[in-house]
Amino acid sequence: MELSNWIQLMIGIPLLGFLISLAVPENKETWLSRVAFFTAGINLLSTLVFLVFWILQGGKDLNLKEILLFKNDQFEFLIDFFFDRISAVYLVVGAILTFLVTFYSRYYLHREPGYKRFFNTVLFFYLGFNLTILSGNFETLFVGWEVLGLSSFLLVAFYRKNLLPSRNAIKVFSIYRIGDVGLILAMWASHHLWHANVTFLDLTDAQRVVDQQLGHSGIALFIGLMLLLAAAAKSAQFPFSSWLPRAMEGPTPSSAIFYGSLSVHLGVFLLLRSYPFWENQVLVRILIGAIGLITAIVSTTIARVQTSVKTQIGYASLTQIGIMFLEVAAGLELLALVHFAGNAFLRTYQLLVSPSVVSYLIREQFYGFVPKKKQGGSTWKNRLYLSVYVWSLKEWNLDRFIQGIIFRPLKKLGHRLDFLRYRTLLLYFIPSYGIGVYLLVQGYVLPYWLHQILPLLFAFLALLMVLKSFTERKSVRLAWMMLWMNHFWMVLAIAENENFAGAEIGIYLSGVIFFGALGWALIGWMTQQHGDFGLYEYQGLVRQHPMVAFLFLLAILGLIGFPISPTFIGEDLLFSHIHEDQFVLAFLAALAFVMEGVAAVRIYARLFLGGITKSSSLLHSASSPETNK
């Protein structure tokens, strides 16, 4: 077997283990743990054997073009795999830690409700992790990136009967989606810069990269900044650090493997992988270093005042990741890789023993507590010390900052759309959409200025539909309808902007129509069973209807363009028809897709997660104002 083909094993083994774990009955704990344990163990052994042969053959970079999913004259969508020393370090660390965590979890979660769900999600995460690390282009990386985001949401909301984990899972997923804006726009701009589906192997050709950037410095800088946005959000760097303590709501093993060791370091991986592209962009390097430095300073002050052991470990890990950002900005790739491995192993160990540490500290407080002496005086040093202490207790209000500059303005705009009801849709939006489609099909020639404005207008209307769904509380049906219609307005916007072929529209809308109809049918069934109780509270209906909850989650994933739907390829096709100078249109489209994911997951969480009983939810839907947003 050629070494490049061996890469398939590192994807196939986790995929096979995940599929087998889905088929194992829920009451077979031993079987479930063994499937996860042997999947991680066999993949670890396979990785180590592969590394031996790879090193003996010189350790050269390997590239494998695996699957060509779609191709036309201007665009191709392919799954590409790439392996180098960065992949080697991340794969080995990931394989070892996943193996250890699965072994630890088989006893730690014994007789825990959701035992099967935990191991299913961990194997799903491991599949996404390997896809991300072995990705050879942005499209393949985005597949793994999306899998990691979904598995993160599921693990944070593991204790799904409780309200707090359910709410925090949405917060974490929302920050992840902010990072997705950066990655989507970087992919879009990269297509226009290279006029091809560029691979990471292409980026290793330094002369080609320099030649390509010479006449396109603006778009190259834009790509670098968008990659930084994606990396900062994924690795909880400033100002996105506030999501990390919310992610600690899941079980200790998932906190260890996600937010102590692997997932939280993927921002560093993205910067290392794309380093050949932005290494000559001084502004990008300065910003990466500045963000890393600020995160290291802020996180270390927060970590020193935390009362929760897991949160303290999480912020301590962020401090080290901030330093890794500095190392990457300085071009110290080998140092960053060694730092990553050391930090990942240390934080995993600390999080796995944290329950024992808590019990030990409790005993110390009972038998060995000695209060500190009060420091007197009102010197400037004491005042500065107390100010930093208070700000650190408040986590520097980073959560409030993100809410204030991103989500609260979007919510306010969504609330101004309360006039959007079924009557409004029937009287105005659906007829206007029909007129737009008719004019487009007939080939009616519009004035140039109107032709320039219409794509922006239609894309903005699509975004408004999403924001209305994001803030809708009274009707589940209306919230879902808005998400569904958003796609049709977006297709009209791109078709008006440039020739969007019928086959491409079919690929995009096939997933939208199927999964949208599935979600609509499930909502109709739920309404017949429980009434349209709205989205005021978390209903917790997964306990009564687990299969419906699973099918509705699939409907959501297909509608938002998760890789189980043709819409995933369709979204990339759609962005290929947005011109390189149309930054506003690209931003509106990316924001609409990202916020659609947040709005859809919010619908799922409020219907199926939480611990609200049916009677209290019905009562609340009849009388409650729009709270708990």
Q: Is 459 left (phi over 0), alpha (psi -120 to 50) or beta?
A: alpha
DSSP string, 290-305: HHHHHHHHHHHHHHTT
From residue 541, how far is each of 374, 478, 547, 617 by CA, in Å? 52, 19, 11, 11
Residue 152 lies in a domain: yes
Is residue 191 assigned to a domain?
Answer: yes
Say what the pLDDT of residue 551 is: 93
345 and 441 part of one domain? no
- The pLDDT-based confidence of 230 (bands split at 50, 70, 90) is very high
Q: pLDDT-derived band of residue 96, with 50, 70 and 90 as boundaries?
A: very high
Give the mean pLDDT of 53-63. Answer: 86
Q: Note whether residue 383 is domain-resident.
A: no
The reported pLDDT for the residue numbered 623 is: 38
% residues pLDDT > 90 (the chain): 25
Distance CA 393, CA 388 (A): 9
Report percent pLDDT > 70 for the chain.
89
Residues 421 and 357 in one domain: no
Q: How many Å apart are CA 184 and CA 190, to the nearest integer? A: 10
pLDDT average, residue stretch 50-61: 88
pLDDT digits (tens, 9 = 90+) for 450-507: 777 888 888 898 898 899 889 888 888 888 988 988 888 888 888 877 777 778 888 8
Predicted confidence at residue 172, as pLDDT, reads 87
**pLDDT average, residue stretch 273-277:** 91
Of 362, 381, 398, the residue at which a domain comes to its end is 362
Please list the alpha-helical segments (H only) found in 135-162: 138-156
Token pair of 140 as six digits? 């393949």
What is the per-residue pLDDT for 461? Answer: 87
Residue 217 scores a pLDDT above 80: no
Amino acid, single-letter form, for residue 562: F
**622 pLDDT exceeds 60?**
no
pLDDT for position 520:
92
Does some domain include residue 386? no
* Co-location of 338 and 487 in the same domain: no
Which of 325, 343, 362 is the endpoint of a domain?
Answer: 362
Average pLDDT over residues 505-521: 90
Give domain status of residue 607, yes or no. Answer: yes
Count of Cβ atoms closer than 10 Å to residue 190 Cβ: 23
- Phi then psi for residue 68, to 5 deg, are -95, 110
Same domain, residue pair 113 and 27: yes
Instruction: Give residue 627's pLDDT.
Output: 37
440 shares its domain with 302: no
Residue 168 lies in a domain: yes
Q: For residues 41 and 13, is the Cβ–Cβ distance under 8 A? A: no
429 & 350 share domain: no
Indicate the average pLDDT of the chain.
Answer: 84
For residue 622, the tally of other CB atoms under 10 A from its CB is: 11
Give yes or no: residues 472 and 346 share one domain: no
Q: In this structure, are strands 76-83 and 62-71 parallel, antiparallel, or unpaired?
A: antiparallel
Question: Do 142 and 224 fall into the same domain?
Answer: yes
Would residue 515 count as lying in a domain?
yes
Rg over alpha carbons for the chain, rounded to the nearest Å, is: 25
> Residue 440: its pLDDT value, please?
66
Q: Which of 362, 390, 407 is the last residue of a domain?
A: 362
Question: With contact defined as beta carbons under 8 Å apart, do 344 and 260 qualify?
Answer: yes
Residue 222: band (very low, low, confident or very high) from pLDDT cuts 50, 70, 90 = very high
What's the full length of the chain, in residues?
A: 629
Domain interval for residue 597: 416-623
In this structure, the answer to whether residues 199 and 90 fall within a common structural domain is yes
> Which pLDDT score, from 0 to 100, does residue 401 have?
84
Phi, psi at 199, each rounded to 5°? -105, 165
Residues 324 and 422 both lie in one domain? no
The span from the CA of 60 to the CA of 67, in Å, is: 22
Both 452 and 532 in one domain: the answer is yes
307 and 427 co-located in one domain: no
Does residue 258 form part of some domain? yes
Q: How many domains does the chain have?
A: 2
